[in-house]
Structure 1
């Protein structure tokens, strides 16, 4: 059952009415550290992220395009932010470029990770270290953290 007062939800979640060239109607967004980035700006950040990670792996567009099942010119549309990056394609590219989707999301929307740029960067670095841990270390760390904060289920907060 839907909530009765959407305005209360908007206020409680600190959403701001804004516009974006991709939508004809007003939309609600959560401001980031530099205000509200447009969807187009976020696509530009994704495209830059893909290019930089492809270059770091010393792969060319044709090679990555082949691995994602696209012709080089079609793949290039993602690197120029001409084509929208769907979540499934984002995950596939992260598999190929050996990076975490968390890194790409942090690049475009760091405000999801903390109240300040430093806090967001620290939490990203922590997450990446956790992802690189052996399973036994991660399990021990989780037990230690649960002992410190109690046995809370964040999905119920």
Structure 2
């Protein structure tokens, strides 16, 4: 079985064909807040998110640049979307700003489409896991340790019951 064909995959993922004037071929994208945002605008939104997170933490550009091992002008270009970052650099920025990739990209990600019929139990489990993780992220270290210890103690009793 070869899997989905292109059109089936596009439909399954909720993608739409977009003719990008900067490309010789179409691309397939999802809507964000009801519209399809071109990649340059998306780069700008990422840069604005980066700047907002840094200013929320009251950290100067110069300090972030030093922690990243780049010149302040280079980091400034990241926040203005005039220079693009590598994935490795972006992950390093997440470390310096103490944010997870999930937290950073949450405003840019649409909910995943519902899965084919037959996966409803998996969907319910996935939703429960996601909700639990959201709650766990809000706990302080002491409370998180207590929950961890409880789950670890329960594990031998729950294996095989899923």
SS of 1:44 mapped into structure 2: helix
SS of 1:70 mapped into structure 2: coil
2:136 is matched with 130
Is residue 18–residue 27 contact of structure 1 (8 Å, CA) maintained in 2? Answer: yes
**C-alpha separation between the residues in 1 aligned to 2:15 and 2:73?**
38
- Runs ≥4 residues deviating over 6 A: 123-126
Is residue 47–residue 81 contact of structure 1 (8 Å, CA) maintained in 2? Answer: yes
2:30 is matched with 30
Deviation, structure 1 residue 54: 1.4
1:86 is matched with 86
Q: 1:28 to 1:128 in 2, by over 3 A?
A: same
The CA deviation string for residues 20-66 of structure 1, in whole angstroms up to 9 with x for no partner, is 35533100112233221222222112111111121122221111111
1:5 is matched with 5
Superposed CA RMSD in Å reads 3.3
**C-alpha separation between the residues in 2 aligned to 1:29 and 1:139?**
42
The CA deviation string for residues 72-104 of structure 1, in whole angstroms up to 9 with x for no partner, is 001111100112233322221111111222122
Length, aligned pairs only = 139
Structure with bigger gyration radius = 2
2:107 is matched with 107
1:120 is matched with none
Using the size of structure 2 for normalisation, the TM-score is 0.67
Query: Structure 1: where are the runs of 5+ without partners?
Result: 116-122, 152-157
Query: Structure 2: where are the runs of 5+ without partners?
Result: 115-128
Using the size of structure 1 for normalisation, the TM-score is 0.69
